[in-house]
Amino acid sequence: MRKDIQALRGFSILVVFLYHAQFGWLKGGFLGVDIFFVISGFVITSKLMEGEGSFGKQIKEFYLRRAKRILPASLTVTLLTSLFAIFFLPAISHSRFSIEALSSALFSANLNFARVGNDYLNQSLDPSPFLHYWSLGVEEQFYLLWPVLFLLLFRTRKNLLLPTLLGTAVFGIWYTAISPVNSFYLPFSRFWEFFAGIILAMNPHFVLPIRLRKFAAFVGWGIITFSVFWVSVNDATPGATTIIATIGAMVVLLARIEVKPQLILPWLGDYSFSLYLVHWPIVVYFLDRNNKLTGQNKLAIILLALALSIALTQFVEKPFRFKKKLSLSLPKWGVVILASSILSYGALAASATNTVKIDRTLPATYGDGCHLKFGVSWPLKECAFGDVTSHKEIILAGDSHAAQWFPALEKIAKSRKLKLVNLTKSSCPATTLETSRNGKFDSSCAIFQVKLITRINQDRPLYVFLSDFTEYQYPLRKNVGSYDQAWTDGLSKFLSQISPPVVFLGDTPKPTSALGNFPAVRSSITLKTEELVKRLGIRYIDTSSWLCDSTCKNSFMGVNTYRDSSHISVSTSLNLAKKLEAEVSFS
């Protein structure tokens, strides 16, 4: 195996690992998986080009190689993760984990996470220990199609490669724009990344002159290094910014030269698959016990993951891959997959507690373009709900902590025959305070705040329901000294500029443990917000009293209270509709 490829693999797993372990300075570490896809397309296709014999013989040999390479380690970790989850992760999640274990063993985890709307780039306080299996699902689904397409079509029609690469890239970027979560997980949005490597593998005659190779290698490594530090979760993925890392990986592969110093990267590349499999469950274990990973947590994660990945490679991956006595036929591998699936699912399902229903759905307004994403300053359509013909209108405005009340207000609007207008935007509070994202002024939020004031005064609704994430401190555009004072000044200025009756929904407490009970502690910002709003004569509703006494519970009316690390679930919001309706006169 070429050392430059092993170094590229080592780089990819390193950045993914550090990103998952919450090394915040590596904003785009998730791009390591995209680089893996490019490498995979190159390596697998290079092997396919060496194949000889009939179509059936080559297909059989291909899938046997894939089985020996992927199944022993991946199925072992699936089983061990299931056992680990039973003993070390909350029982309330075991039912959900059982489905995720089953889909992981069947290489369809990505389809399951797309189905439930799991946002990989914004993980909750209770992440799945099987989440990283999404990429194996994408890869194996691609390789169900690729060897057949290669042998029947692309091997003799290389002129189709570039149009396919460009066409699938355009589709992936377009689909990300309209359905970001689905596009992240579904294989068709990722095909172009595999084709970036495939096009190099199928054109081996395209070789750079020797004098340019070292320069190209430095450029390639520079590009991918730049991408993982510059790209962030605020950028659409897979999207236009993903192209940067993809091009960098292509240039490194094209250079065909080892660049020094690459330090331990080739060595990490030797253990990259095992390290990818074992590191994430370990991270999840520590996240379950810590709201934020400490330096000691991170060191323990690194040491444990390295030790387990070496053991998995030496005692599982390599023996099944290279020892003839452990060689299995395709039907026998099928039996192994089936048995692993049943055991993983069954163990977790048997240990699950069925006393609480788990609801992790997002409010409907997240999926119709009415809850605005990062970078979007105003909805492209009229975001009216309930009785849209009614002359009585209510407005819901603020950040995602306002959007969490959308299900409750929509329920009220329908029963009361009111028109509900949703004006919410992620990480953009209803205030005049100028915020920043990744060290840059969030201009889309500033524009939204101005337009929000104008729209509220223009419509003059029956009520404006405001809510903000006050259990959090937003990064600000400027250094303002006291955040508490800056927040109250910004909120006071915002409230002074709107005229309709306002109802301020106090923020819900922020959980400090994964699906466990936690103290009902309020931030200074929440307390100052309540004080300011009441002093201005505006109605303030303490929503925390609906959910907590001295402690906040992990369930509310038989359903999980929170869907993630700070937002109440849709079911909780709906169950609180009656309490909200009783607090406000809608007549």
Same domain, 404 and 299: no
- Interatomic CA distance for residues 28 and 15, integer angstroms: 8
What integer pLDDT is reported at residue 93 of this predicted model? 81
What integer pLDDT is reported at residue 438 of this predicted model? 63
What integer pLDDT is reported at residue 476 of this predicted model? 87
What kind and span of H or E run contains 3? Answer: helix 3-20
Is residue 223 situated within a structural domain?
Answer: yes
Same domain, 412 and 534: yes
Q: Which token pair is 404?
A: 């969490």
- Interatomic CA distance for residues 522 and 163, integer angstroms: 56
Same domain, 371 and 224: no
Among the candidates 298, 326, 354, a domain finishes at: 326
Same domain, 309 and 429: no
What integer pLDDT is reported at residue 512 of this predicted model? 73
Is residue 549 situated within a structural domain?
Answer: yes
Q: What is the pLDDT of residues 254-300, one digit of tens each?
A: 998 877 767 799 999 999 999 999 999 999 999 887 767 899 999 99
Same domain, 318 and 413: no
Please answer whether residues 286 and 23 qualify as being in contact, where contact means their C-beta atoms are separated by less than 8 angstroms. no
Same domain, 321 and 460: no
Q: Taking the CA of residue 477 as centre, how many other CA atoms within 13 Å lie in the half-sphere pointing to its CB?
A: 12
How is residue 510 annotated by DSSP?
Answer: P
- Interatomic CA distance for residues 10 and 1, integer angstroms: 13
Say which CATH number the domain at 553 has: 3.40.50.1110
- What is the reported pTM? 0.80
Domain count, the chain: 2
Q: What is the largest CA-CA distance in the chain?
A: 83
Pairing of strands 551-552, 518-519: antiparallel
Strands (E), 412-462: 419-425, 436-437, 440-441
Please answer whether residues 200 and 165 qualify as being in contact, where contact means their C-beta atoms are separated by less than 8 angstroms. no
Same domain, 262 and 377: no
Domain range for 448 is 364-583
- Interatomic CA distance for residues 363 and 368, integer angstroms: 10
Q: Mean pLDDT, consecutive 10-residue segments, the chain of 587 residues?
A: 91 96 92 97 95 93 95 97 91 87 97 84 75 97 96 92 96 89 93 97 89 92 96 86 96 87 87 97 88 89 97 95 90 96 94 76 89 89 95 96 97 96 95 82 93 95 96 84 92 94 94 71 93 96 92 87 88 96 86
Q: What is the pLDDT of residues 111-128, one digit of tens each?
A: 999 988 777 766 655 689
Please answer whether residues 3 and 255 qualify as being in contact, where contact means their C-beta atoms are separated by less than 8 angstroms. no
Please answer whether residues 412 and 577 qualify as being in contact, where contact means their C-beta atoms are separated by less than 8 angstroms. yes
Specify the residue for token string 């609180």: 576
Strands (E), 382-501: 384-386, 393-398, 419-425, 436-437, 440-441, 463-467
Same domain, 504 and 449: yes
Same domain, 391 and 284: no
Is residue 274 situated within a structural domain?
Answer: yes
Please answer whether residues 244 and 226 qualify as being in contact, where contact means their C-beta atoms are separated by less than 8 angstroms. yes
Same domain, 441 and 498: yes
What integer pLDDT is reported at residue 439 of this predicted model? 67
Please answer whether residues 100 and 130 qualify as being in contact, where contact means their C-beta atoms are separated by less than 8 angstroms. yes
Please answer whether residues 466 and 533 qualify as being in contact, where contact means their C-beta atoms are separated by less than 8 angstroms. no
Same domain, 402 and 313: no
